[in-house]
Structure 1
Amino acid sequence: MTSKEKLLLFVLACLNFTHIMDFMIMMPLGPQLMRYFDISPQQFSLLVSAYSFSAGLSGFFVAFIADRFPRKHIMLTAYTGFVVGTLACAVAPTFGLLIAARTLAGVFGGVLGAQVMSAVSDVFEYERRASAMGVVMTAFSVASVVGVPLGLYLASTFSWHAPFWFVGIIGIVVIGLIWKYIPRLDGHLSDRNKVKHHPFEAVTNILREPNQLRALWLTTTIMLGHFSIIPFIAPFLTANAGFSESNLYLIYAVGGALTLFTAPQVGKIADQKGKYPVFVVFALLSMIPMWLITNSTSNNLFAVLGTAAIFFVFSNGRLIPTQAMTASVVLPQQRGSFMAINTSLQLLMQSVAVYFAGLVIQKTSDGKLLHYDWVGYAAMLFIFFSIFIAKTVKPVDAKRVEEVVVE
């Protein structure tokens, strides 16, 4: 890996860090926000899903223009809007205005994930792609180890507004890094300029290609399984298991610290052994902590942290080969549009998963949450089905080789 490639991955990881922390911090803030605004699990799920829903819609519409501009231009515009939305969260005084600010942040944030994945896929060929994805996705680990604990500390010391001030200020610095160090990334435009393209080709291309449809189906099942349980981990542990709210940061710190080391290794193994076999192993393993978390009755610190640790490691290990597989079902000229639609679907399914989990989970008069285990069983079923769907997703290069051999 060259120094320029490392610098590119570093800046993309910084972008991911702020983007992920902004989204992640809402979930451990759940107990505090539910108490501060006196809201129900359904209202809290609406607060979380507001970002995902608006992000999903904006990502879908951007898909129609994503491949008509350099990656850098779209990334810089979207990230600037995201920072503005995050700063709006920092000054929101009421529950209604916070939802509005989260919606604004989502409108721009929904574009970022696809652009990061497209940039990595454009620069790194398929044989090195999972390793590069693993490096960029260490931002998730850093956000867990540093971002979330620091955010919770700021929230407990000052107010729930403080973490958003932190992300917004760091985001201003990242804008400068993107402007200075991210190249135009416009190689995909050379071929597009030779041909007149239909404005809705992003959708028609997907509808004509079953392999791309299967990749989107894979995204759907994984998100429904993953995000139905994540937002309610902190509220459930504090309300039902009696876990100390002051120790919530340790869940993210321990889990994130482990994935900081495991994510790059998973990427390397996926490149060496194959994306699908590695995905299957981690998908099956991830169902163990999913069951343990949604059925937990223990507030023992070591038991909770141990369960959270393997949940983070196995879920993150499942996601890395998934991202590499889905990014490889299209050619570079179509990748920005496809990844925008994929990310849009991902965010919309997150919103759906959180919203319906909020409908299933009920809050008793003494504050306990009921039926979280039902949500866990449904989530495990989705992850199990994703194994069979992933089997059918093939990289576009592999398909071409097969077609040449047949001919």
Structure 2
Amino acid sequence: MKKTNKNAARQAAEPNHTLSAGQAPFTKYQVFIVAILAILQFTIILDFMVLSPLGAQLIQELEISTQQFGWVVSAYAFSAGASGLLAAGFADKFDRKKLLLFFYAGFILGTLFCGLAPDYHFLLAARVITGLFGGVIGSISFAIITDLFPLQMRGRVMGFVQMAFATSQVLGIPISLYLANTWGWHSPFLLIVGVSVIVGLAIARYMKPIKAHLQLQSDRNAFRHLAGIVSNPHYLKGFAAITLLATGGFMLMPFASAFTVYNLGIDLETLPMLYMATGISAMVFGPLIGKLSDRLGKYKVFFWGSILTMVVVVIHCNMGISPLWLVLLVNVIMFVGITARMISASALMTAIPESSDRGAYMSIQSSVQQISGGLASAFAGLIVVQTSEGTLEHYDLLGYLVVLSSIVTIVMMLLIDRSVKQKADDKALATEKVVA
């Protein structure tokens, strides 16, 4: 009976949360918010992910090394990390809609420069500009989700929003590869610009201002606000966990297409079908995983997703020339595990910051993620070596490093899960006293 009362009070302690919030249907406006943020995330993710399948083509056409390509990937991450830190102190002082539109406009401009880049150095500079603006957009989107949806619904919301990752696999990357093979590697970036302009206009026209957090602000200046965030022990756990999550993902991603083509024996013409198959599986499983994380617990889904990912990563990184069906199967299973990790971790981490710190926390989290990912990509570029025949050596070592980071991340996410539950219990006890 006491446990039941605590659970009920825990629900009451969260504003606008109800016992059935996890199962409640979305309103029409919530559907719009989920859809527009998913499409927005699609453009951001595609802009970053398209570099990986274009890797083999860029290395050949620009006559660059694997190390130079690693810096092209890292340039976005480092600049995104720097802008996240700079924006963190101001993230909670403006209407989130206006902030989103400002950074999205800069992202579109940077992507346009990528589509016009004539050489390696211009492309490198264009990726820096794109990262300065694009790296903050994800954190603003997550802050909007946290503002508008209760914790019990965020697993479902993240399930749909993270479908942008899968959609980029199903539609974005195959179409981009087709355009790149037909009209050159610049064309995918120009496609992203066209889609992004439409998304930006829809946000400007239909999204309502998001200002509730402004009522919670104090007179702290931006730098004191930032210092308070980075010195909060509760928040530091989240930053440490996101660092490890990014390290694992960014190590394998930049060289995935080159490994598939040169080491696994899958030709460039078949590559779009491979990305499409893995993306479809992620689209199917994404919403289901989101619902499971709300029902079974976000950490439990993250744990088993991590176990599945670790096992398949080791298998994948040690494969040689393989039939297409086997490569498809391994990639599909691996992406299901990655999707489970992404959705459950994203939903759980939204519960870490207080309302008044939400924008700043998300900005710093994005910054930490991008910087650690950039370092991981650059480090991976130093480990992986391309032979004269084109094959990549030491890719298996990257897989073992991903497994190691995943093991540590499991422990870190457990600590976060316990901390979030303790925070909810404390609010529940406070609510019990008020009700009493």
TM-score by length of 2: 0.90
**1:163/1:403 Cα in 2 relative to 1: closer, same or farther (>3 Å)?**
closer
Asked whether the equivalents of residues 313 and 399 of structure 2 are also in contact (C-alpha less than 8 Å), the reply is yes
| Counterpart AA for 2:100 | M
Do residues 166 (structure 1) and 169 (structure 2) align? no
For residue 144 of structure 1, what is the aligned residue in structure 2? 169
How far apart are residue 343 of structure 1 and its match?
0.6
Which piece of structure 1 moves more, 21-30 or 395-404? 395-404
The aligned counterpart of 2:313 is: 290
- The 1-side partners of 2:245 and 2:42 are apart by 22
Counterpart CA distance in 2 for 1:122 and 1:133 is 14
Mapped partners of 1:227, 1:289: distance in 2: 17
The Cα offsets for residues 148-187 of structure 1, whole Å up to 9 and x where unpaired, read as 0000000001100010110011111111011012211111
The residue type paired with residue 28 of structure 2 is: S
Distance 1:89 1:4 in 2: 34
Deviates more, 1:200-209 or 1:44-53: 200-209
Contact 1:11 1:182 in 2 (8 A): no
Per-residue CA distance 1:297-327 (angstroms, 9 max, x = gap): 0331111111111111110111111111111
- Taking structure 1 as reference, are residues 400 and 205 closer, same or farther at Cα in structure 2, changes over 3 Å only? farther
Q: 1:292 to 1:133 in 2, by over 3 A?
A: same
Give the corresponding residue for 1:343.
Answer: 366
What CA deviation, in whole Å up to 9, does each residue of 1:260-282 have, x standing for no partner?
11111111111111111111010
Contact 1:118 / 1:339 at 8 angstroms: preserved in 2? yes
Could you say which residue in structure 1 is the equivalent of 2:376?
Answer: 353
Whole-angstrom distance in 2 between the partners of 1:69 and 1:344: 19
Residue 256 of structure 2 corresponds to residue 199 of structure 1: no
Matched, 1:83 2:72: no
Matched, 1:17 2:42: yes
Counterpart of 2:423 in structure 1 is 399
Mapping for residues 115-134 of structure 1, pairs under 5 Å = 115-134=140-159
> Any conservation in 1 of the 2:229–2:357 contact (CA below 8 Å)?
no
Aligned-pair identity (%): 35
Are 1:45 and 1:354, in contact at CA under 8 Å, matched by a contact in 2?
yes
Structure showing greater Rg: 2
| TM-score, with length taken from structure 1 | 0.96
Question: Which letter does structure 2 place at the counterpart of 1:2?
Answer: T
1:337-394 residue CA offsets vs partner (Å, 9 max, x unmatched): 0000001111111101110000011122222211111111011110111011101114
Q: Which aligned pairs between 1:21-40 and structure 2 lie closer than 5 A?
A: 21-40=46-65
Consecutive unaligned residues in structure 1, runs of 5 or more: none
Q: Which runs of 5+ in 2 are unaligned?
A: 1-25
Pairs within 5 Å for 1:218-257: 218-257=241-280
Shift of 1:403: 6.4
Displacement of 1:233: 1.1
Residue 404 of structure 1 deviates from its aligned partner by 5.9
CA contact (8 A) 2:229 2:360 kept: no
CA contact (8 A) 1:146 1:253 kept: yes
1:202–1:338 Cα contact (<8 Å) kept: no
Contact 1:11 1:181 in 2 (8 A): no
2:388 aligned with 1:388, yes or no? no
Q: Tell me how far apart the structure 1 counterparts of residues 222 and 420 of structure 2 sit (CA, whole Å).
A: 23
Counterparts of residues 300-315 of structure 1 (less than 5 Å): 300-315=323-338
Aligned length: 405
Residue of structure 2 equivalent to 1:3: 28
The corresponding residue for 1:320 is 343
Picking from 59, 64, 70, the partner of 2:89 is 64
1:261 and 2:284 aligned: yes
3-state SS of 1:39 partner: coil
Structure 2 residue aligned with 1:368: 391
Q: Tell whether the 8 Å contact from 1:251 to 1:309 is kept in structure 2 after alignment.
A: no
* In 1, Cα distance between equivalents of 2:256 and 2:424: 44
Tell me the distance in 2 between the aligned counterparts of 1:377 and 1:400. Answer: 36
Pick from 177, 193, 213: which aligns with 2:236? 213
- CA deviations on 1:167-214 (whole Å, 9 max, x unpaired) are 01111111101101221111100121xx21132244333344322111
Which whole-Å CA distance do the structure 2 matches of 1:377 and 1:133 have between them?
28
Q: In the alignment, residue 332 of structure 1 is paired with which amino acid?
A: S
Query: Distance between the aligned counterparts of 1:314 and 1:141, measured in 2?
Result: 13
RMSD (Å), alpha carbons: 1.5
* 3-state SS of 1:229 partner: helix
User: Distance in 2 between the 1:280 and 1:264 partners?
Assistant: 18
Matches within 5 A, 1:39-54: 39-54=64-79
* Partners of 2:224 and 2:420 in 1: CA distance: 18
